Amino acid sequence: MTTAGLAAAATAFSVHTMHAGRIRDDPQKRTELMQEVMTEAVPEYAPTHRYAAICLESHDRVRDMVNTPNGWEPFHEANDVVILRKTVDGSPLQQVKGTGMINAPPRAIAEVVRDISRKGEYDDMLDDAYTVEELDEWTMLNYSSFKRVWPTTARDFLTLQHEKEYEDGTIVIAFFSVDDAVCEPKKSHVRARVEIGGWILEPVEGEPLQCRATYAAQVDLAGSLPASVVNKATSKAPMCIDGLRSVVANMPLEDYVFTPPSPPVPSASSSLNADKVDADDPGSLPAPAEDPNDMGVDSGYTPTHRYAAICLESHDQVRDMVNTPNGWEPFHEANDVIILRKTVDGSPLQQVKGTGMINAPPRAIAEVVRDISRKGEYDDMLDDAYTVEELDEWTMLNYSSFKRVWPTTARDFLTLQHEKEYEDGTIVIAFFSVDDAVCEPKKSHVRARVEIGGWILEPVEGEPLQCRATYAAQVDLAGSLPASVVNKATSKAPMCIDGLRSVVANMPLEDYRTRTTWGVDSGYTPTHRYAAICLESHDQVRDMVNTPNGWEPFHEANDVVILRKTVDGSPLQQVKGTGMINAPPRAIAEVVRDISRKGEYDDMLDDAYTVEELDEWTMLNYSSFKRVWPTTARDFLTLQHEKEYEDGTIVIAFFSVDDAVCEPKKSHVRARVEIGGWILEPVEGEPLQCRATYAAQVDLAGSLPASVVNKATSKAPMCIDGLRSVVANMPLEDYVFTPPPPPAVANTPPTVLKIDDDTAKEEVEQAAANNETEAPIPALPEHLAAIRQTGMMAALDVQHTAESMAAVTPSNYKETKSVAEAHGWSYVNDKNDVVTFRKRVPGYSIHAFLGKGVIPLPAATIYTTLCNMAHRLEYDRLLRDYSIINQIDDQTRVVWMLHEAKACLLTHARDFVVVLHQAAAADGSFVAAGRSITVPEKPEDESVVRGEVYASGWHLKPLADDPSQTMVTYLTQINVA
């Protein structure tokens, strides 16, 4: 089938949500994210973009400008907005600030202000405004232009905008001009400048639906305007406060109310969002995210206890505390343990961290540390310690008391401890104080607090029986002790690292080595010496071919089109050529993979043979080429690796290596292929045709100038034409690719999941059990069965959501508005006959979008397309690559997908690991859905951001009056935290 219809249905409601968690396109998502990560206090934020340093300073500059009392003079007052102005030393340009009350919470106002495209709603001089680049969730590079005031030229601005919410609920949005090549000045405008500007949005105590809004700025309109004219033109800019009042008036203001933490669990300094947790009400917990681990806390681990949310965040808090470089000062060193301490803004209590090597694997040390009852073995101040409650295998509620130091009272702690192992073998054990009725404070002790603490146990590369151990904590001994005494008493706590050394010395350390995983997918795991670079080579070839920028047409002959490209940092060009060959990809691959046959389609070849067959798909090949007078003959030693994808595409990558099995010959110059390869793609509907692409970047070495090398290699892709005659007489029917059958259709409809009920989990499990009873499912190993059930649950969730919105269609969404609102959905837009809704979940970082549209094709046809991952490349324009990690059964598989985010103005790609489940119902409807999981076969890659989606997917329902057409519902739920 063609997928134009499916593309039209998907484009309107999936592009900016399903791909990479992009949030700029929807301002409301920014507020929801803020409600999740800033409910208590701003977590430690470390921007890495090119403007990081000046962003972090900008809030202080805005607050200083506004709060410095001297020099401000009243200037104008209207509509309850008071404007003041101020002369600045050394500048003829004034600063202005205005303040007024707005009947809306700060977060509601921030939602409007942060979206530059909405500025025209409260500033009638605006002509155009948009975000040029989103640097991170809180930082935008914005363009704005303003209407021309005769006789002057129109002005425009390029400003950097950065947002921060403080612990008291105040929000500061700073902005200032920058010069950046991504948006050069226009000839039609004068590029003006904001020296510094911003909003300060302060909550009003006792009035949660009010805000004290201040706007301040110093602007230079540039050009030849006198300063007096500039000052007059900009002096009433703060009146935009009045304009904002009407904009926010109709917003659901109750959703934006800031709730300060009381009491903090844990304390505010640990930023663990404890205010979201009701210890007595497990049902109040948000759905926790899944985390990649190896030691139990892995794809099968989803905590459900009352502290689930803050546990999942605690590891990042510990790593941030340890890894943030600023502020640490050396304090003490003994027995090869180095201790540093750090002053924390807003607190008199210091943080301490210590690091030392221990001759034991991380898992051996973790076995001791996780058992609080063993703490006395390496801490001689301990008096008593035990686990009050084991919340799950990796989470303990621990009690510990310490010996009294005269003349003080003894101290005790109640801490939550949570453990996580990362893919590289690092183990983090985080702990922090909580208040819990299961262990009330004792009259004999002062209940002290760990604001945040933990162990980071890192394996040492090449030394499996060693560990780099770091202990860090911020402790409040409470009572009436001065901070200086507390800091002194806790400053050497990391010396417990030394104590641990003797504890683990006699353990059977070999039993605790970290497990490792290797391999790209479930079927093929190379073990030869070039395994790692082989697995990367296919992506390199596809990247080289598919990256659109920079290619220029160069040559065309015999239906082969050749393009060339200049590569940054290299004088050597890349070339690629494409042409059709009347043969299946597998037939062509049989010729190309055999290097000894290269002479059949390349008349410059002199000799070629395989030096070593590393495995069935990997060859070490030698090839030499005829001498072209007056140059010396060239030869190559290349590694060749082959991979066939699910859609029948075959990639054969090759690149030069240096290997002692085939040293360079004196008679030849050893040339190099930097990267090269074939991409052989099947043609839909034409099983005996192939779209062949050859691409390479070659260095002929020696003393040849780059211009000569580029000319000599520029027509290499013409070997495509040579291949045509080679394959013409092959038995081509024998090489036709047969795609895997679509997932089997179940005979019974999936059971509906009522996700609105408190007993959602139990109903899902019962639903899965019912399905197993009605349509038996083959037995699987326990971990695969758990993954399959996760996929089934996602499908049930999508089905339920679609059925709850069944009455709403693109043609009647206005009349059925109450139906959508009853299920929490709010209207977004209606484009291309697709109606889109959004669901806001206050306090959560999950953002849901739902779209509905009619496709004039039978549901079974669309379903077949959705079940074939290869087709996704056609209707998902941001999908760059995918692979099937594990085909669990006919209806369930684990898939890795890489999405290129540059089209969304993000600076990096996102990948997802998702379990997908497909099923059909007796009423003719279909569901294809999935959700993120973590599996050891596909660890996170540092070069991309691992995205996370909750139950998301497609529901297909034939129209009752015309089964040849289908109502398509698409649901996406993304975790942007």
Confidence of residue 55 (pLDDT cuts 50, 70, 90): confident
Lowest mean pLDDT among 133-142, 319-328, 856-865, 926-935: 319-328
Give mean pLDDT, residues 606-617.
89
Lowest mean pLDDT among 98-112, 537-551, 791-805, 832-846: 832-846
Q: What integer pLDDT is reported at residue 429 of this predicted model?
A: 94
Q: Could you tell me if residue 226 is inside a domain? A: yes
Residue after which a domain boundary falls, among 700, 734, 768 = 734
Confidence of residue 870 (pLDDT cuts 50, 70, 90): confident
Q: Could you tell me if residue 666 is inside a domain? A: yes
Most confident range (mean pLDDT) of 259-273, 771-785, 839-853, 916-930 is 916-930
User: Which tens digits make up the pLDDT trace of 620-639?
Assistant: 999 999 887 778 889 999 99
Residue 11's SS3 state is helix
Q: What integer pLDDT is reported at residue 685 of this predicted model?
A: 83
Q: Could you tell me if residue 484 is inside a domain? A: yes
CB 55 within 8 A of CB 176: no
Q: Could you tell me if residue 883 is inside a domain? A: yes
CA atoms within 13 A on the CB side of 327: 14
CA-to-CA distance for 665 and 719, rounded, in angstroms?
A: 26
Nearest to 160 by CA among 200, 208, 193: 193
The single-letter DSSP state of residue 377 is G
Residue after which a domain boundary falls, among 506, 538, 567 = 506
Report the percent of the chain where pLDDT is more than 90: 33
Lowest mean pLDDT among 29-38, 169-178, 669-678, 832-841: 29-38
For the chain, the first-to-last Cα distance in angstroms comes to 38
CA-to-CA distance for 68 and 95, rounded, in angstroms?
A: 12
Secondary structure in 3-state letters for 750-767: CCCCCCCCCCHHHHHHHH
Is residue 130 located within the same domain as residue 232?
A: yes
Give mean pLDDT, residues 599-606.
90
Confidence of residue 975 (pLDDT cuts 50, 70, 90): low
User: Which tens digits make up the pLDDT trace of 248-298?
Assistant: 998 888 888 877 644 333 333 333 333 333 333 333 333 333 333 334 333
User: Which neighbouring-strand residues pair with 155?
Assistant: 190
Is residue 497 located within the same domain as residue 582?
A: no
Residue with more model confidence, 22 or 452:
452
Lowest mean pLDDT among 278-282, 600-604, 793-797: 278-282
Is residue 536 located within the same domain as residue 493?
A: no
User: Which single residue is written with the structure tokens 């060959």?
Assistant: 581
Q: Quote the domain boundaries for residue 851.
A: 782-975
User: Which tens digits make up the pLDDT trace of 724-770?
Assistant: 999 998 888 888 877 654 443 333 333 333 333 344 344 444 544 44
Give mean pLDDT, residues 10-31.
36
Give mean pLDDT, residues 327-332.
86
Give mean pLDDT, residues 484-512.
88
Q: What integer pLDDT is reported at residue 922 of this predicted model?
A: 73
CA-to-CA distance for 220 and 157, rounded, in angstroms?
A: 10
CB 260 within 8 A of CB 140: no
Residue with more model confidence, 901 or 561:
561
**Average pLDDT in the chain:** 80
Judge if the upstream peptide bond of residue 266 is cis by omega within 30 degrees of 0. Answer: yes
Lowest mean pLDDT among 293-297, 400-404, 513-517, 554-558: 293-297
Judge if the upstream peptide bond of residue 407 is cis by omega within 30 degrees of 0. Answer: yes
Q: What integer pLDDT is reported at residue 513 of this predicted model?
A: 64
Residue 529 has pLDDT above 80, yes or no: yes
Give mean pLDDT, residues 879-906.
76
Confidence of residue 309 (pLDDT cuts 50, 70, 90): confident
CA-to-CA distance for 791 and 893, rounded, in angstroms?
A: 9
User: Which tens digits make up the pLDDT trace of 197-255?
Assistant: 999 999 988 888 999 999 999 999 888 888 888 888 888 899 999 999 999 998 888 88
Is residue 538 located within the same domain as residue 475?
A: no
Is residue 454 located within the same domain as residue 499?
A: yes
Residue 841 has pLDDT above 60, yes or no: no
CB 576 within 8 A of CB 606: no
Is residue 710 located within the same domain as residue 837?
A: no
Strands (E), 763-922: 825-831, 834-839, 846-855, 879-887, 892-899, 910-920
Confidence of residue 45 (pLDDT cuts 50, 70, 90): low
Report the percent of the chain where pLDDT is more than 70: 83
The DSSP secondary structure of 483-524, one letter per residue, reads HHHHHHHHTTGGGHHHHHHHHHTTS-GGGGPPP----SSSS-
Residue 90's SS3 state is coil
Is residue 475 located within the same domain as residue 536?
A: no
Give mean pLDDT, residues 11-25.
33
User: Which neighbouring-strand residues pair with 887?
Assistant: 893
Residue after which a domain boundary falls, among 240, 255, 270 = 255
Residue 28 has pLDDT above 50, yes or no: no
Q: Could you tell me if residue 225 is inside a domain? A: yes
The single-letter DSSP state of residue 96 is E
Residue 502 has pLDDT above 60, yes or no: yes
User: Which single residue is written with the structure tokens 């200032």?
Assistant: 176
Q: Could you tell me if residue 835 is inside a domain? A: yes
Q: Could you tell me if residue 131 is inside a domain? A: yes
Is residue 586 located within the same domain as residue 493?
A: no
Q: What integer pLDDT is reported at residue 679 of this predicted model?
A: 94
Is residue 243 located within the same domain as residue 204?
A: yes
CB 104 within 8 A of CB 251: yes
Residue 667 has pLDDT above 50, yes or no: yes
Residue 8 has pLDDT above 70, yes or no: no
Residue 81's SS3 state is strand
CB 551 within 8 A of CB 573: no
Q: What integer pLDDT is reported at residue 718 of this predicted model?
A: 94
Give mean pLDDT, residues 807-811.
89
Q: Which two tokens stand for residue 837?
A: 């809704």
Is residue 393 located within the same domain as residue 496?
A: yes
Confidence of residue 948 (pLDDT cuts 50, 70, 90): confident
Residue 704 has pLDDT above 90, yes or no: no
Q: What integer pLDDT is reported at residue 301 of this predicted model?
A: 61
Q: What integer pLDDT is reported at residue 302 of this predicted model?
A: 67
How many structural domains are present in the chain?
4
Q: Could you tell me if residue 726 is inside a domain? A: yes
**Which CATH number covers residue 642?**
3.30.530.20
Is residue 655 located within the same domain as residue 803?
A: no
Confidence of residue 507 (pLDDT cuts 50, 70, 90): confident
CB-based contacts of 119, cutoff 8 Å, min separation 6: 126, 129, 144
Lowest mean pLDDT among 317-331, 812-826, 867-881, 957-971: 867-881
Q: What integer pLDDT is reported at residue 940 of this predicted model?
A: 86
Confidence of residue 776 (pLDDT cuts 50, 70, 90): very low
Is residue 594 located within the same domain as residue 669?
A: yes
Nearest to 929 by CA among 971, 959, 889: 971
Q: Is the dihedral of CA 927, 928, 932, 934 positive or negative?
A: positive
CA-to-CA distance for 472 and 323, rounded, in angstroms?
A: 11
Residue 915 has pLDDT above 80, yes or no: yes
Helix, strand, coil in percent for the chain, rounding step 5 = 25, 35, 40
CA–CA distances in Å: residue 242 to residues 27, 117, 124, 235, 857: 21, 18, 12, 15, 52
